[in-house]
Amino acid sequence: MDKLIFRELPTYLLEIMRKYFRLQVEGAEHLPKRGPAIIAPNHSGVSGFDALVLMHEIERITGRLPRVMTHHFWFLTKTTSIPAKKLGFIDATSRNGLRELEKKQMIMLFPEGEYGNFKPSTKAYQLQEFKRGFVRMAIKTGAPIIPTMIIGAEEANINLSQFKLTKFLRGVVIPLPLNIIPLPSKWKIKFLKPIYLPYKPSAVNDRELMRDIADDIREQIQSRIQAEIKKRKNVYF
């Protein structure tokens, strides 16, 4: 029953989503068939469909199920934590990420966090600041970082605004989406060349270096996204 609910059914639904979004994929040769790796894509669309579609595509191509580093809210109750774990989600902490990489697993994380996912649609494809944890994990484990761009999720779910909670849940960001059912935008996923960071583990204590590396990777993804957007003839047809 677990296999049916958490493997077969999601796979079936995600295959429908691939066709619904008319998904195109480039750069699949950059995905490693074995060993640790960090998939680092841009984040958008409010709903989290980009994470599910990307996870499914990686598994379809490599046969490997990446561990998706997910917001802590998923793990606050058994109702959400049990299905999250069975789908391959892990709590987004450096300790968890390092543990999976040391086990030679592939992990997937969004360096923008919720600030990228929940940004208003008026800021579509404007990548937000990257957190630096993924850079530190790559240096500590020697895992390559695979920058990844996702186009189409911005137009699938329209977000009117973004709110920051300060009184009870300081730092928490919530969206104001216009639609829940995704619009049939055309999607494209492109895996860029792996980045191997030639630094000793002690380099993780250099905050300026960590920031510069994260910014360089963000700019690389940003420039590729802008180039792809210029080539698009239409979004929905």
Q: How far apart, in whole angstroms, are the C-alpha atoms of residue 25 and residue 187?
A: 9
pLDDT at site 170: 58
Give the predicted TM-score (pTM) of the model.
0.93
Examine the pLDDT at 168 and tell me if it is beyond 60. no
Query: Mean pLDDT for the chain?
Result: 92
Please name each of the domains of the chain with its CATH number: 2-231 (3.40.1130)
DSSP 8-state code for residue 7: I
Residue 92's Cβ-count burial label (10 Å; 0-12, 13-18, 19+) is buried
pLDDT category at 14 given cuts 50, 70, 90 is very high
> What percent of the chain has pLDDT above 70?
97
Q: What is the rounded average pLDDT of the residues 146-154? A: 97
Examine the pLDDT at 55 and tell me if it is beyond 60. yes
Q: 215 is written with which tokens?
A: 């910014």
Please, are residues 6 and 87 in contact by the beta-carbon 8 Å criterion? yes
Q: What is the rounded average pLDDT of the residues 209-222? A: 98
To which H or E segment does residue 141 belong? helix 133-141
